[in-house]
Amino acid sequence: MGAGVSGALIIVSKSRWEPAVRREHALARQAADHDIQVLFIERPVDVRAFGSADWRLAAGHRVGPGPEDVTVLPHAVLVPGHRSRAAERAAAWLLHRRLRRLTAPGDTVVVCTPWQWPATRGLHPRVRRVFDCADDWSALLPARADAFRARFGEIAAEAEAVVLVSEDLVSSFPGAAVTVVPNGVEQALLATPREDAPQPRSMVYLGTLSERFDAPLVGAVLDALPDWRLDLYGQCQYAGLGERPAPELERLLGSGDRVAWLGPVGRDGVAAVLDRAQVAILPNRPELTAGQDAMKLYDYAARGLPIVSTRWSERLADDGPPGLALADGAKAFAAAVAAATGGDRDAETAVRWAAERTWDRRWDAWSAAALDETT
């Protein structure tokens, strides 16, 4: 076990294990590297998957595929817990039953969404309950904003630790002793040699495709840059659509042969897909990106890519990687993309910035707060 940790780390994730590219995956790998037993409860499948192999695996409480040092546990609910108060109660009851069977005194349970929190109540008093928050869920799901804000207040009062990805989230947890631990980058991404030269006039986007991704803006940028192309890598997670594209993304993909959605890419493939591009983009809608710390910024910087982003956070100008260009509107965004490949640009400065923000470096602060590690 890691120093100061007497039991297992149980992460109740908002993601499936594959592709293992998100914050919870990095934390799980770090814990395993520090000899902590890790159980990773995946984002649940629901009744829409009834009868499928995924449903049978999850409903049977069987272990799913994953690395040797992390136990991946598929999970199933009838309806996703964020949908309504009734759905939350039903999903929390199922998760609570599972946590009761899995946990023992000295374990730490980390949950990542507010609707998961009620499932941690009534566990053994020596099970440490932690909330790790990487999103402002009240902004992402405005129909349930009041309910989630109320949950944030309950979490602030009940959790042994609250770990936040950004200072912007602190005000959502009044009275809590919070710890801010931003995202990071995998050391392996920094160490992977470059194999190919970038394709001329090529853009790349790496990450989840959801309502945050401003597809109409991207379409206008491509119209303004007729000689450029864009490759999109990541899962679709649009509300109510499972892993299918939303209509606005379908329109973008159908607008011509200069844009392609190539699906998710595993961690071992990130360097290659980024190295093929000249410019990395982050076209987020600011109103849906409150409280975020985009992992893709760290990945982009680790490969020395010029980055063009919308102004989705007031902190980007000060906290973002060196050479980050911020643009409002399609015309300015397109101009920033075109300008990013010109002149002498110090890619190594961005790489050094990323190297100072690896998950190895983040682990000490996260484990000290979440696991109450004293050494």
- Please state the domain count of the chain: 2
The model's confidence at residue 299, banded by pLDDT at 50, 70 and 90, is: very high
Nearest-5° angle of CA 163, CA 209, CA 49? 90
Whether residue 194 sits in one domain with residue 130: no
28 and 165, same domain (yes or no): yes
Q: Are residues 159 and 237 in the same domain?
A: no
Query: Over pLDDT 70: what percentage of the chain?
Result: 97
Which residue carries 């990013």 as its tokens?
Answer: 340
What is the C-alpha separation between 276 and 198, in angstroms, rounded? 4
**Is 72 among the domain residues?**
yes
Say yes or no: 226 and 273 in one domain: yes
- DSSP structure string for 130-198: EEEE-S-HHHHSGGGHHHHHHHHHHHHHH-SEEEES-GGGGGGSTT--EEE----B-HHHHHSPP-SPP
Q: What is the pLDDT of residue 5?
A: 59
Torsion (CA) 345, 350, 351, 352 in degrees, nearest 10? 120
Cα separation, 124 vs 164, whole angstroms: 25
Cα 282 from Cα 280, distance rounded (Å): 7
**Which pTM value belongs to this model?**
0.90
Domain presence at residue 160: yes
Calculate mean pLDDT across residues 347-374: 91
Range of the domain at 95: 9-184+358-370
Domain contains 375: no
In this prediction, residue 88 has a pLDDT band, given cuts at 50, 70 and 90, of very high
In a domain, 3, yes or no: no
4: pLDDT strictly greater than 60: no
Work out the pLDDT band at 289, boundaries 50, 70, 90: confident
Report the chain's C-alpha Rg in angstroms: 21
The DSSP H or E segment spanning 326 is strand 325-326
Q: What integer is the mean pLDDT of 353-373?
A: 93
Residues 364 and 319 in one domain: no
Based on the number of CB atoms within 10 Å of its own CB, is 177 exposed (0-12), middle (13-18) or buried (19 or more)? exposed
Q: Angle at CA 292, nearest 5°, toward 286 and 294? A: 100
Pairing of strands 108-111, 325-326: unpaired
What would the pLDDT profile of 132-146 be if each residue is shown by its tens digit? 999 888 887 888 889
User: Which range scores top for mean pLDDT: 14-18, 205-209, 358-362?
Assistant: 358-362
3-state secondary structure of 298: helix
Tell me: do 180 and 120 sit in the same domain. Answer: yes
**Structural domain includes residue 224:** yes
Any domain includes 24: yes
* pLDDT class of 343 with cuts at 50, 70, 90: low
CA distance 150 to 296: 30
Q: In which band, very low, low, confident or very high, does the pLDDT at 6 lie, cut at 50, 70 and 90? A: low
Residue 231 and residue 150 in one domain: no
Q: Which helix (H) or strand (E) holds 335?
A: helix 329-340
Q: Is the pLDDT of residue 265 over 60?
A: yes
Does residue 2 lie in a domain region? no
Assess if residue 238 is contained within a domain.
yes
Report the sign of the C-alpha dihedral through residues 25, 187, 293, 128, in that order.
positive
What is the rounded average pLDDT for all residues in the chain?
Answer: 90
> Between residues 344 and 2, which one has the greater pLDDT?
344
Same domain, 235 and 158: no
More confident residue, 267 or 351: 351
Q: Do residues 162 and 254 both lie within one domain?
A: no
pLDDT band for position 345 (cuts 50, 70, 90): low
Q: Is residue 152 domain-shared with residue 241, that is, in the same domain?
A: no
Instruction: Give the chain's end-to-end CA distance (angstroms, integer).
Output: 13
User: Which residue has 């892993």 as its token pair?
Assistant: 243
Least confident of 119-133, 147-161, 276-290: 276-290
Give the pLDDT confidence of 167-194 residue by residue, as tens digits: 989 999 998 989 999 999 999 999 999 8
- Domain of residue 63, CATH code: 3.40.50.2000
Residue 237 sits in the same domain as residue 274: yes
User: Which of 161-175, 206-220, 336-350 has the lowest average pLDDT?
Assistant: 336-350
In eight-state DSSP terms, residue 76 is B
For residue 268, how many C-alpha atoms fall within 13 Å in the half-sphere facing its CB? Answer: 1
Residue pointed to by tokens 């961690």: 267
User: According to the model, what pLDDT value does residue 255 have?
Assistant: 82
- The string of pLDDT tens digits covering residues 31-86 is 999 999 999 999 998 888 777 888 887 777 778 777 889 999 999 898 888 889 99
Q: With a cut of 70, say whether residue 344 has pLDDT above it.
A: no
Dihedral of the CA atoms 197, 201, 204, 210 (nearest 10)? -170
Range name among 53-57, 195-199, 309-313, 344-348 with the lowest pLDDT average: 344-348
Average pLDDT over residues 297-309: 95
Q: Which residues of 334-367 are buried (b: 16+ CB within 10 A; e: fewer)?
A: bbbbbebeeeeeeeeebbebbbebbbeebbeebb
Same domain assignment for residues 117 and 30: yes
